[in-house]
Amino acid sequence: MGSTVRDLLGRLSGRADDTRRKAWAHACAEALGLGGVAVTVNEELVWFSDTTSERLEDLQFTLGQGPGLGLDDPVEMRQIPDLGELLARQWPQFAPEAVKLGVAALFVWPVRLGAVPVGTLTGYRRTTGPLTARQVSEGWLVADVLAEHVLANWPAEPDANGPGHAGTVDLHRAEVHQATGVLSVRLNIPLAEALDRLRARAYASGRSLTDTAHDILRQELPHDDH
Domains of the chain with CATH codes: 5-160 (3.30.450.40), 174-220 (1.10.10)
Rounded to 5 degrees, φ, ψ at 54 are -60, -45
Nearest to 178 by CA among 166, 204, 160, 154: 160
How would you class 208 by CB atoms within 10 Å of its CB: exposed for 0-12, middle for 13-18, buried for 19 or more?
Answer: middle
In this structure, are residues 93 and 65 in contact, taking their beta carbons and an 8 Å threshold?
Answer: yes
Q: What string of pLDDT tens digits covers the 226 residues of the chain?
A: 356 877 777 777 656 567 777 888 888 899 999 999 999 888 888 888 999 999 899 889 888 889 999 888 888 999 999 998 776 578 888 999 899 999 999 999 999 888 888 899 999 999 999 999 999 999 999 998 887 877 776 665 544 444 444 345 566 677 777 788 888 888 888 888 888 888 888 878 877 777 888 888 888 644 443 3
Q: Cα torsion for 152, 169, 66, 174, to the nearest 10°?
A: 120
Q: Which sign does the torsion angle of CA 68, 71, 77, 82 carry?
A: negative
